Amino acid sequence: MKTLLIVHHSLTGGSLQMAHAAAAGAARESDVRVHLEAATESGPQSLLESDGYLFACPENLASVSGLMKDFFDRCYYEVLGRLEGRPYASLICAGSDGANAARQIERIATGWRLRPIAPALIVCTHAQTPEEILKRKTIGPVDLSRCEELGATLAAGLALGVF
């Protein structure tokens, strides 16, 4: 049985909703265990015990969120050279375009020699004022469906040995 690790961080709930939707999609695959872990609780052992990854976080100040970056910082060197070829995807909840956060995850994943299975899925909330940025987010059904489909695709690929 394969294991899909979904590591998430969310301050206002948007990326958490996206991670839960992806987990629901992945759970359709009975031959894949899905582990949903907060970035603050996850670590190198979880990465090593998993066959594929989905990273979900908000874009903060044109960057991955600090706690997601902390996860990568805590794990990077401990798993370097031990994850090559494993598949990954990312989910970004952004107020503007999310491109820099997606690029950061891509660069980290490249260092680990992970294999992207899809471009970063970016959901833009258009939150631009302090009030909108800090407000609890609600991700719409169309975007949640896209997240669910990405989770299902990653899990199916793991189960079939495609990834």
Domains of the chain: 2-160 (3.40.50.360)
Helix (H) or strand (E) holding 32: strand 32-38
- pLDDT for 152 equals 98
pLDDT digits (tens, 9 = 90+) for 139-154: 999 999 999 999 999 9
- pLDDT for 55 equals 98
Token output for 145: 């469906």
- pLDDT for 11 equals 94
pTM of the model: 0.97
Among 15, 25, 26, CA closest to 71? 15
Rounded Cα distance, 90 and 149, in Å: 13
Lowest mean pLDDT among 48-52, 86-90, 113-117, 126-130: 126-130
